[in-house]
Amino acid sequence: MHKLPTLFIPHGAGPCFFMDWTRGPTDTWDRTAAWLKGLVADLPERPKAILVVSGHWEEPQFTVGSAARPPMLFDYYGFPEETYRLRFDAQGSPPLAGRVRELLGAAGFPTAEDAERGYDHGVFVPLLLATPDADIPVVQLSLRGDLDPEAHLAAGRALAPLRDEGVLIVGSGMSWHNMRGFSPAFTAKSEVFDAWLTAAMADPAKRDAAIRSWDEGPYAREAHPREEHLAPLFVAAGAAEGEPGRLAFRDVAMDVAISGYAFG
């Protein structure tokens, strides 16, 4: 098999791709949706499974979803009623969940599993576009609640062997995530932070150091008052240590720059 890349994807605003968008232009999320639709088709080969690290799941220790048939977890609020009827019926993979725990444990991480938790919207919203037939097994891995950059880089390094086993590692978050910072007042700042982040991800020799001190980047804490939506990027980058990163997608949505990255 080809060694699969790792990805960091913007998952949008709630169920934004599956409703009439009313906050700004109606085509606000069209370019992101088009990119997500080609996510799997553009890979060197179709994955056997997908491991998603979502910015919407945190636990005291890295925790993996081990359900064979994960339910839906509608963890967004105030959206149209029809967005609570979305269905993403991809199977889970208890064997992959066990493999994730094995690899993280070998790297010294305590782990746990959750056989009840469903797919949150950081998983099902983008994957409904990328895999509309839900025909690739999906396993979700939590963030660690301290959001420590080094721990998440190290977790990514531990999970890197999955790339040779047909597993696509996806970090699902947002490169800019300030709930009070989606407005024209932040456009220029978002573009400066986005340019810094893109340059930092491109150079494998300097990437880990940049991630460890990401909050020293320009306007970093305006981009991420809390970094749970950036931490999935740390895992994706760690799983491609020493390999190049590239800007895979960029747009301006809700007045701020948002980007996706591919590694390897």
3-class SS at 103? helix
Residue 159: per-residue pLDDT:
98
The answer to the question of residue 23 being in a domain is no
Sign of CA dihedral 124, 170, 163, 4: positive
User: Strands 62-65 and 256-263, how do they pair?
Assistant: unpaired
Q: Let me know: does 106 contact 31? Beta carbons within 8 Å.
A: no
The answer to the question of residue 1 being in a domain is no
pLDDT tens profile 104-163: 999 999 999 999 999 999 999 999 999 999 999 999 999 999 999 999 999 999 999 999
Residue 57 scores a pLDDT above 90: yes
User: What is the extent of the structural domain holding 159?
Assistant: 6-16+28-263
Residue 192 scores a pLDDT above 80: yes
Structural domains in the chain (count) = 1
Residue 1 scores a pLDDT above 90: no
The answer to the question of residue 170 being in a domain is yes
Q: Among 46, 42, 43, 37, which residue's Cα sits nearest to residue 166?
A: 46
DSSP 72: B
User: Strands 62-65 and 111-114, how do they pair?
Assistant: parallel
Structure-block tokens of residue 78: 């105030």
The answer to the question of residue 132 being in a domain is yes
Residue 2: per-residue pLDDT:
87
Here the CATH number for the domain that contains residue 200 is: 3.40.830.10
What rounded mean pLDDT belongs to the chain?
97
Cβ atoms < 10 Å from Cβ of 98: 14
The answer to the question of residue 100 being in a domain is yes
Output the pTM of the full model: 0.97
71 or 179: which leads in pLDDT: 71
